[in-house]
Copies of this chain bind each other. A is one copy, B any other.
Amino acid sequence: MQATDTKRRSKLACPDELNHHLRDGMRIMFGGFMGVGTPERLVAAILRHGARRLTLIGNDTAFPHSGVGPLIASGQVERVITSHIGTNPVTGRKMLAGQIAVELVPQGTLAERIRCGGAGLGGVLTPTGVGTMVAEGKMRQLIDGREYLLELPLRAELAILHAKRADQAGNLVYERAARNFNPLMALAADKVIAEVEEIVDTGEIDPDQVMTPGILVDHLILAESH
């Protein structure tokens, strides 16, 4: 059985690690809700790298100068799949100008679609959106006399997450409402990079308190100290 005393690898990487995983036209999921729980250092790294024609998937586009907002402003984003753009007027302006495509998804449906993508599920039936524009073009299904919409999985090539604490094995612990979409996206991307405020030795986090198992995380980047 795996020896508990062999060398333990660390997933800690230097901030440039992200560059190896970026390319034009890729789909990126980002954790966060109004920027809270968004890995700002990784967002800055994407800005510096300059990858273009990106599709971003996340709850909202935050504010012009926080969260993923700067990526919207920089013109690197071609498409956003999100539940809300109201706090970032740049997204709205670019959408109306035809510079960014915005697919609006109800927040709970967005969570379930990402979860499906990560959990090997082919889709989920939700009552949310029945009788609204959201239902257009979707398969409907009556279950026990109630109507549901079939919502399909979402996956991405890369997920960028933010966590409070990690161990070297990549186990993550989130703090307060910064958890939000992060644990779901950890399941739903080919490559998962987490920005963390603190890294501790493997074994120092109580296994009961891990919120994202380390096997889902490829690389850890330390958030800049403030």
A interface, CB within 8 angstroms of B: 112, 116, 120-127, 141, 143, 146, 148, 150, 152-153, 173-176, 179, 207-209
A153 to B148: give the CA distance in the assembly, Å. 13
- Residue of B121, B141, B173, B176 touching A112 (CB-CB under 8 A): B121
The reply to whether B123 and A174 form a contact with Cβ atoms under 8 Å apart is no
Q: How many copies does the complex hold?
A: 2
Query: Which of A122, A125, A208 is most buried by chain B, counting CB atoms within 10 A of its CB?
Result: A122
The reply to whether B127 and A125 form a contact with Cβ atoms under 8 Å apart is no
Could you tell me the distance in whole angstroms from the C-beta of A140 to the nearest C-beta in chain B? 10
Q: For residue A116, which residues in chain B have a CB less than 8 angstroms away from its CB?
A: 124-125
> Contacts A122-B146, A124-B125 given; 11 further ones with Cβ under 8 A?
A112-B121, A120-B126, A120-B127, A122-B141, A123-B125, A123-B141, A123-B143, A143-B152, A143-B153, A175-B208, A179-B208
Q: For residue A207, which residues in chain B have a CB less than 8 angstroms away from its CB?
A: 176
- Residue of B120, B126, B174, B209 touching A121 (CB-CB under 8 A): B126
The reply to whether B208 and A176 form a contact with Cβ atoms under 8 Å apart is yes
The reply to whether A123 and B124 form a contact with Cβ atoms under 8 Å apart is yes
A11 to B74: give the CA distance in the assembly, Å. 53
A122 to B145: give the CA distance in the assembly, Å. 11
Q: For residue A141, which residues in chain B have a CB less than 8 angstroms away from its CB?
A: 122-123, 150
Could you tell me the distance in whole angstroms from the C-beta of A139 to the nearest C-beta in chain B? 8
Instruction: Write the chain B residue with the least CB distance to A147.
Output: B122
A122 to B179: give the CA distance in the assembly, Å. 26
A167 to B126: give the CA distance in the assembly, Å. 33
